[in-house]
Every structure is written in structure tokens, then in C-alpha cells.
Amino acid sequence: MTQEYIRLLARKFFEGTASEEEKQLLHEWYDRLADDQSPETVATPTAEGAAEVRDRMHANLRNLQQQHKPAKTFGWIQRLTTWSSAAAAIVLIGFWLWTHEHKPATGNVRLVTAPLGKTVRVNLPDGSHIWLNAGSALSYPVAFKGKTREVVLREGQAFFDIAHNKARPFIVHAKTLDITVLGTSFDVKAYKNDPDIKVTVKTGKVGVQVRDKPGQPALMLLPAEQAVVPEKTQKIQVSEISKPAIAPWKDNRMVFEDEMLVEVLHALERKYNQHIIIEKPGLSAEKISLTLDDQPMNDVLKVMGFSKNFNYSQLNDSTIVIR
């Protein structure tokens, strides 16, 4: 079936006008797609990640579902247990169409994600290695071509150990920054819910440049230096940082040095796959220093609560309230 015909069937199904034969065609198409799915790779050539497109489609269609409910439910939709039935089917179809219509003209792009509570190691075709922290997403070409090696940190935090190649610089695109190296190791933190972008160098030299300021030369960072770039001001601030505080998360440790408490709590959310609600006024502006290995979440919060004078309670299996 062509993409145009799949789109037509999807629209008719959503409007409740699809015939039994057309519904069966969708059923068969879905089964073939499910058998062929590879969770590791999707094409993502634009700034918006595939997961973001899927979530946006889901949010929009969930609202529409309140007005349009199909008369019958089919077995193939019932298998989509994570989304509501009709919206799930259309989201899946839209997501499949998006990934097929937006493939790069040459070469393939691979998207790798690290789920909450886990880290993922990625081996690049040039011999470089990347570790993704929990809740992160990275896209890169299956094979590097041209004069540069470029990847996109679409969300989250990653530690890069880059194979040296003087003739082909390695470039990381992260939010509003372009980070250029020849061969070095460094950490980039660019979560959507953090106000700052942070680039920290472990070995070698790293060039950091704000993308919308092409005339401004790249700022060079040396080992144990960290660039902090607030998204609001886009002004690069450089400070020194101890080596133990550089990407300890890839070894299942967490080291915070005079860190904003709200960012520490965000890190705990990702590590323990919990949602933390802060109800105590002024707490978000506090700073804290601590080192964690693999202690239970309750033990961590007890220590932090004693230090910062707050109480907490477990609202349900996945939500914690701080008061």
C-alpha cells in the first residue's frame, strides 16, 4: 500500500466511514509494520525528534478523540495498551508516515534513546563512544560522510569519548550550541527542563559556539573547565570543576558541587523514574553539594531533607511531594 492510501484509510477510520474491507487492510498493514519494527533506529533529520513528533500527535489526537469515537474496537487496536484505542491507531500511522516521508536524501540517521532509570552506551562508526544518561536521545548517521562528523543531542545528557581525527572535526549540536572537537572526552547536559546548557571537558580541548552568533569565535575549554550557557541570555560563563564531578553518572554515581537543588531533583527523577513535586516555597532556589552511589531514593531524600529542612511523602508509586 502506498503512503497516500494508508493516510486515506487512517482518515476514514478516524471519521468512522471505513468499510469492513478497509478496516481489514489497516489490520493487515499494522501486523506487517509491527513485525518489521526495529526499536533502535528511526529516521530523524529535523530538529524535532521522532519521539517528540509521536508525543505531539498523541496529545492532539487525544483531544480530538473526545469528539470522534469509532463505533467498534478491533483486536489490533486493543493490543496498543499504552494509548487509548482510536488515537493510538492514528498516532502509529502518523508516526510511521512521518519517519518514512522525512528520511534523508542520502544515508540513514539512527536515533538512540536512554529510558528513565537507565544509561545506554553507543559505539559510533568512527570508533568514538558515547554514553547517554537517563531520559536522553541522540541521533547520528550510520556512516559519517564529508569533511565533518556530526551528531545531534536531541535531549538530555551525554558523555563523549571521541576518536581523534584532525582532518574531520567532530561536532555535537545541542539545543542552541555547536560543540566542536578533534578528539577528546567531554560531557554535555542539555535537558529541556533545565535552564542552562552545560559543557564540561575531561580531556583535550573543546570549542563551544552559540549557533545564532556565527560571527562570534568559538570559546575554547580546557580539561576540568565547564561552560554554562543560560538559554535566556545565551552568554557563555566558564568555571572550573573537579574531575570527580565530570560525568560520574555513567559509572552509576552522582556528584553535585554547589548545584541548584531543582536540578538535583530533576536528576533524581530521571535516575529513579519518579516525578517530584516541590510545594515548599523558595526551595527551588537552594543549592546543594552531595555525592551519591546507588542508595535507595528514600535514603537520598532523607539526607537532603535534613540538610535543606524539608519533608517529603510518597503520593503514589511514581510521585513524590516535597513540602
Same fold, 109-242 and 253-322: no
Determine the pLDDT at residue 129. 97
Determine the pLDDT at residue 38. 39
Whether CATH 3.55.50.30 fits 253-322: yes
Q: Which CATH number fits domain 109-242: 3.30.300.30, 3.40.50.2300, 2.60.120.1440, 3.40.50.300?
A: 2.60.120.1440
CA 292: distance to chain centroid? 23
Determine the pLDDT at residue 119. 94
Determine the pLDDT at residue 95. 45
Each residue's pLDDT expressed in tens, for the chain with a length of 323 residues: 566 666 666 665 555 676 777 667 766 665 555 444 433 333 333 344 445 544 544 444 444 344 444 434 333 333 333 334 444 445 455 544 444 443 433 448 999 999 999 999 999 999 999 999 999 999 999 999 889 999 999 999 999 999 999 999 999 999 999 999 988 999 999 999 888 999 999 999 999 999 988 778 889 999 999 999 998 898 999 999 988 889 999 988 888 888 888 888 999 999 999 999 998 888 878 888 888 887 888 888 988 888 888 999 998 888 999 98
Amino acid at 258: D
Determine the pLDDT at residue 156. 96
Determine the pLDDT at residue 159. 98
In 3D space, the residue among 203, 200, 180 whose CA is nearest the CA of residue 190 turns out to be 200
Domain definitions of the chain by residue range: 3-101, 109-242, 253-322
108 Cβ contact partners less than 8 Å away, ≥ 6 residues apart = 41, 43, 141, 142
CA 158 – CA 149 distance, rounded (Å)? 16
The three grid cell numbers given for residue 22, joined into one nine-digit string: 478497509
What's the pTM value of the predicted model, to 2 decimals? 0.62
CA angle at 92 for the pair 88 and 73, rounded to the nearest 5°: 40
Determine the pLDDT at residue 252. 86
